[in-house]
Amino acid sequence: MDLSLSTRTEGGRTIVEVGGEIDVYTAPKLREQLVELVNEGQFHLIVDMEAVDFLDSTGLGVLVGGLKRVRAHEGSLQLVCTQERILKIFRITGLTKVFPIHPSVAVAIASSD
């Protein structure tokens, strides 16, 4: 399955809904999307990963890169994920300490208010 991306604005935040597989082949598309949003002045991002089937370290690298970009503008990058197999990768790499990870978009928006 390829990568699907869509963006919308909700509660003053930009939600990036990601679906499919984020790996060495597809991660550049996610990177482009995050760079584009930051260039447009969207500095408070919520990446919804509930429809992600697979995530590898390349995808993690893109998310870390996105976090660095928004932080340069005093922004934020939060994640929405409840899938254990995806959360495990964040735990292995220690990135649960770096990203706020929420169970839903609504909770992510509420927590950033």
Partner 1 sequence: MAIVELRFSALPEHVRTARLVAAAVARRAGVAETVLDEVRLAVGEACSRAVGMHQDRVDDDRPVTVTLDDGNGRFSIEVNDGVPQPALTEAALAEGAGLMPDLSTNGAGMDVIENEMGLAVILGLVDDLDVRTGAEGGVIRMSWPSGAKSAETVG
CB of 34 to partner 1, least distance (A): 13
Using the Cα atoms of residue 28, residue 32, residue 38 and residue 43 in order, give the sign of their dihedral.
negative
What the block records as the tokens of 16 is 């990036």
How many other CB atoms are found less than 10 A from the CB of residue 34?
A: 24
Q: Which residues touch 19 (CB under 8 Å, ≥6 apart)?
A: 3, 4, 5, 51, 52, 53
Measured from the CB of residue 65, what is the shortest distance to partner 1 in angstroms? Answer: 6
Cβ distance to partner 1 smaller for residue 68 or 73: 68
19 vs 61 by CB, closer to partner 1: 61
Q: How far is CA 23 from the centre of its chain?
A: 14
Residue number with CB closer to partner 1 (61 or 100): 61
Query: Which residues here bind partner 1, judged by CB under 8 A?
Result: 21, 23-25, 54, 56-58, 60-61, 64-65, 67-68, 85, 89, 92-95, 97-98
User: In whole angstroms, how close is the CB of 57 to partner 1 at the nearest point?
Assistant: 4
| Residue 7 vs 57, nearer CB to partner 1 | 57
Smallest gap from residue 72 Cβ to partner 1 (A): 11
Burial class (CB in 10 A: 0-12, 13-18, 19+), 64: middle
